[in-house]
């Protein structure tokens, strides 16, 4: 979105984000949205979001009655927003507030981006904006959701689903992954990495990784992958392979595969590829125009593989990605 400044120079208006707060909303998810979209980030070279909390009533009791939220905007804030976030509901099978559903439908009709955290997917589905779309929600409520909304293509295993103008997240912690994904989509991998570092939160999890559902505890505790991942991120361009990762961890490839599945919900190769694409995106954002250099430095090998992997994960070619997120943007 652009507008004319007082000096006649075009500049971007902040992207407006409104989060709807309902009775029983989870303070954690409210905090995630406030942290990611509401706090000022003057150190970043992009205009940040304009963030509002809004509700259908002047005062909203939060989850378990911990506190009352007041002084927030009315639902007319939804009509001004470019992105609308719907938080979780403590009883997702109860009827949603009709005023909230109407606000969501209006936002969808004018093309706003819709986001749900956890069981907020029930609200989007009740508003009718998920029919025919892919979506996710907390695994605990998957069966109830599918029974109630059979026209929605629910994937209950993943952390979040980006289906264009609608993004749905799984359990509460996945709200962080989803919010960082939105920042990455809006501003690029470099900006998302900077925000992630400020949060002291890893950027390893993408939407396709699996939710952590209930499983029997193993007989012995597994070894953390943290040191191995940190080392691997420093050696992405060295021809590092899954066999090399296993050797570094002093385990067999099969054992490493099991640990990645258990701790990250992905395979070692899938994680390596995702990290390499993220590094390639950051190199492009910093101004590197030689695709062979980007491919070699990131460990993707060839410009052909770089194009294929970048398009697969972003839907953009390298030139399109550079145009959108490169230094000249």
Domain coordinates in residue numbering, the chain? 2-191, 218-325
Tokens read off for 259: 């640990």
Mean pLDDT across the chain, nearest whole number? 86
Determine the average pLDDT of the residues in 26-44.
Answer: 91
The order of strands in the sheet holding 160-162 is 50-54, 16-20, 83-86, 113-116, 166-169, 160-162
What whole-number distance in Å separates Cα of residue 118 and Cα of residue 139?
9
- Measured in degrees and rounded to the nearest 5, phi and psi for residue 94 equal -75, 155
Residues of the chain above pLDDT 70, percent: 89
- Residue 64: pLDDT band by 50, 70, 90 thresholds? confident
Determine the average pLDDT of the residues in 152-166.
Answer: 91
pLDDT given for residue 214 in this prediction: 40
Tokens read off for 58: 């002047």
DSSP β-ladder status, 160-162 and 153-154: unpaired
- Measured in degrees and rounded to the nearest 5, phi and psi for residue 73 equal -70, 165
Q: To the nearest 10°, the Cα dihedral for 233, 237, 238, 244?
A: 50
pLDDT given for residue 295 in this prediction: 94
Nearest to 162 by CA among 270, 273, 48, 83: 83
pLDDT given for residue 215 in this prediction: 36
Determine the average pLDDT of the residues in 25-35.
Answer: 91
What whole-number distance in Å separates Cα of residue 203 and Cα of residue 108?
29
Nearest to 269 by CA among 243, 249, 293, 302: 243
- Residue 156: pLDDT band by 50, 70, 90 thresholds? confident
What whole-number distance in Å separates Cα of residue 302 and Cα of residue 119?
42
Tokens read off for 148: 């109630």
Q: Supply the DSSP string of 59-104, one letter for each residue.
A: EEE-GGGS-EEES-B-GGGGGG-SEEEE---SSTTSPPPHHHHHHH
Question: Residue 201 in contact with residue 180, Cβ under 8 Å?
Answer: yes
So what's the architecture of 218-325 in CATH? Answer: Orthogonal Bundle (1.10)
pLDDT tens for residues 219-263? Answer: 434 467 888 998 998 999 988 999 999 999 999 999 999 998 888
109: number of Cβ within 10 Å: 9
Candidates 1.10.3720.10, 3.40.50.2000, 3.40.50.880, 3.40.50.720; CATH matching 2-191: 3.40.50.880
Find the largest Cα–Cα distance for the chain.
68
Question: Residue 199 in contact with residue 127, Cβ under 8 Å?
Answer: no
- Residue 12: pLDDT band by 50, 70, 90 thresholds? low
pLDDT at position 6 over 60: no
What whole-number distance in Å separates Cα of residue 291 and Cα of residue 304?
9
Nearest to 306 by CA among 271, 276, 266: 276
CA quadruple 97, 176, 135, 133: dihedral sign: positive
């Amino acid at each position: 979105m652009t507008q004319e400044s007082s000096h006649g120079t075009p500049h971007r208006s902040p992207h407006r984000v409104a989060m709807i707060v309902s009775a029983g909303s989870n303070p954690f998810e409210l905090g995630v949205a406030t942290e990611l979209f509401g706090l000022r980030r003057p150190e970043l070279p992009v205009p940040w979001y304009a963030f509002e909390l809004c509700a259908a009533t002047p005062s909203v009791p939060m989850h378990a009655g911990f506190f009352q939220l007041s002084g927030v905007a009315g639902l007319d804030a939804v009509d001004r927003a470019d992105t609308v976030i719907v938080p979780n509901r403590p009883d997702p099978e109860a009827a949603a507030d009709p005023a909230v559903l109407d606000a969501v439908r209006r936002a969808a009709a004018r093309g706003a981006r819709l986001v749900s955290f956890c069981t907020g997917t029930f609200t989007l589905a009740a508003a009718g904006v998920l029919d025919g779309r892919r979506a996710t929600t907390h695994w605990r409520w998957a069966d109830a959701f599918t029974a109630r909304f059979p026209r929605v293509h629910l994937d209950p295993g993943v952390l979040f689903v980006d289906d264009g103008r609608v993004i749905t997240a799984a359990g509460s912690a996945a709200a962080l992954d989803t919010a960082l994904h939105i920042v990455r989509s809006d501003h690029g991998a470099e900006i998302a990495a900077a925000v992630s570092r400020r949060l002291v939160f890893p950027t390893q999890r993408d939407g396709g990784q699996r939710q952590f559902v209930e499983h029997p505890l193993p007989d012995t505790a597994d070894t953390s992958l943290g040191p191995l991942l940190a080392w691997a991120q420093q050696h992405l361009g060295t021809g590092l392979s899954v066999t090399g990762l296993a050797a570094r961890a002093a385990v067999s490839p099969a054992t490493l595969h099991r640990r990645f599945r258990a701790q990250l919900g992905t395979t070692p190769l899938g994680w390596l590829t995702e990290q390499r694409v993220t590094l390639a995106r950051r190199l492009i954002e910093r101004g590197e125009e030689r695709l062979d250099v980007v491919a070699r430095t990131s460990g993707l090998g060839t410009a052909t593989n770089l194009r294929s992997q970048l398009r697969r994960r972003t839907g953009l070619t390298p030139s399109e990605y550079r145009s959108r997120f490169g230094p000249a943007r």
